[in-house]
Structure 1
Amino acid sequence: MAAPLFLLAPPRSYTSLVNAMLGQHPQCFGLPELCLFNVDTLVDLWRGSAAEISENGPMARHGLLRAVAEIYCGEQSTATVNMALRWASVREHWTTGQVFQEIVDKIHPLVAVEKSPSYTISVKRMRAMLDTFPDARFLHLVRHPVAQAKSLLAINDGAFTIKVNAFEIGEDYALMEPQIAWHDINLNILDFLDKVPPAQQMRMRGEDIMAQPEQRLAEIARWAGLRDDAEAVDQMMHPERSPFACFGPINALFGNDPNFLAGPTFRPHTPKIPPLSKPVPWRDDGKGLHPEVVQLANEFGYV
Structure 2
Amino acid sequence: MAAPLFLLAPPRSYTSLINAMLGQHPQAFGLPELCLFNVPLLKDLWIRASDEMSNEAKTRQGILRAVAEIYGGEQTAATVKMAQHWCAARQELSTGLVYQEIVERLHPLVAVEKSPSYTISLERMQAIRAAFPDARYLHLIRHPVGQCKSVMALNEGAFALYVNAIEFLEDRAIIEPQIAWHDLNINILNFLAEVPPELQMRVRGEDIMENPREHLAAICRWAGLRDDDEAVEDMMHPERSPFACFGPINALFGNDPNFLSGPTFRPHKVKFPSLTKPVPWRDDNQGLKPEVLALAHEFGYQ
Task: Calculate the TM-score normalised by the size of structure 2.
Answer: 0.98
More divergent stretch after superposition (67-76 vs 173-182) = 173-182
Match of residue 92 from structure 1: 91
Residue 48 of structure 1 deviates from its aligned partner by 1.9
> Per-residue CA shift, 1:120-166, capped at 9, x if unaligned?
00110000000100000000000000010011011111111111111
**Matched position secondary structure for 2:43:** helix
Match of residue 164 from structure 1: 163
**Matched position secondary structure for 2:40:** coil
**Matched position secondary structure for 2:58:** helix
More divergent stretch after superposition (145-154 vs 161-170) = 161-170
Query: In structure 1, how many angstroms separate the alpha carbons of the residues matched to 2:145 and 2:273?
Result: 8
Residue 172 of structure 1 deviates from its aligned partner by 3.1
**Matched position secondary structure for 1:275:** coil
Question: Alpha carbons of 1:177 and 1:10: their partners in 2 closer, same or farther (altered >3 Å)?
Answer: same
Match of residue 11 from structure 2: 11
Match of residue 142 from structure 2: 143
Query: In structure 2, how many angstroms separate the alpha carbons of the residues matched to 1:121 and 1:51?
Result: 23
Question: Alpha carbons of 1:151 and 1:96: their partners in 2 closer, same or farther (altered >3 Å)?
Answer: same
Q: Which runs of 5+ in 1 are unaligned?
A: none
**Matched position secondary structure for 1:157:** coil
Match of residue 301 from structure 1: 300
Query: In structure 1, how many angstroms separate the alpha carbons of the residues matched to 2:11 and 2:264?
Result: 19
Give the partner amino acid of 2:264. T
Match of residue 75 from structure 2: 76
> Per-residue CA shift, 1:161-208, capped at 9, x if unaligned?
111111122333322111001000000000100100000000000000
Query: In structure 1, how many angstroms separate the alpha carbons of the residues matched to 2:125 and 2:291?
Result: 23
Matches within 5 A, 1:95-174: 95-174=94-173
Matches within 5 A, 1:100-249: 100-249=99-248
Residue 53 of structure 1 deviates from its aligned partner by 5.4
> Per-residue CA shift, 1:247-296, capped at 9, x if unaligned?
11000011000110111000001111012111101111111100000000
More divergent stretch after superposition (167-176 vs 184-193) = 167-176
Match of residue 46 from structure 1: 46
Query: In structure 1, how many angstroms separate the alpha carbons of the residues matched to 2:196 and 2:64?
Result: 32
Q: Does 2:300 correspond to 1:282?
A: no
8 Å Cα contact 2:52-2:58 kept in structure 1 = no
**Matched position secondary structure for 2:201:** strand
Give the partner amino acid of 1:191. N
Matches within 5 A, 1:249-260: 249-260=248-259
Question: Alpha carbons of 1:17 and 1:11: their partners in 2 closer, same or farther (altered >3 Å)?
Answer: same
Identity %, equivalent residues: 69
8 Å Cα contact 2:2-2:107 kept in structure 1 = yes
Match of residue 26 from structure 1: 26
**Matched position secondary structure for 1:98:** helix
Count how many residue pairs are aligned between Structure 1 and Structure 2: 301
Question: Alpha carbons of 1:66 and 1:301: their partners in 2 closer, same or farther (altered >3 Å)?
Answer: same
Query: In structure 2, how many angstroms separate the alpha carbons of the residues matched to 1:238 and 1:51?
Result: 31
**Matched position secondary structure for 1:139:** strand
Give the partner amino acid of 1:205. R
Q: What do you get for the CA RMSD once the two structures are aligned?
A: 1.2
Give the partner amino acid of 2:224. G
**Matched position secondary structure for 1:42:** coil
Residue 109 of structure 1 deviates from its aligned partner by 0.1
**Matched position secondary structure for 1:278:** coil
Query: In structure 2, how many angstroms separate the alpha carbons of the residues matched to 1:119 and 1:64?
Result: 15
**Matched position secondary structure for 1:113:** strand
Residue 51 of structure 1 deviates from its aligned partner by 9.8
Task: Calculate the TM-score normalised by the size of structure 1.
Answer: 0.97
Query: In structure 2, how many angstroms separate the alpha carbons of the residues matched to 1:299 and 1:223?
Result: 22
**Matched position secondary structure for 1:168:** strand
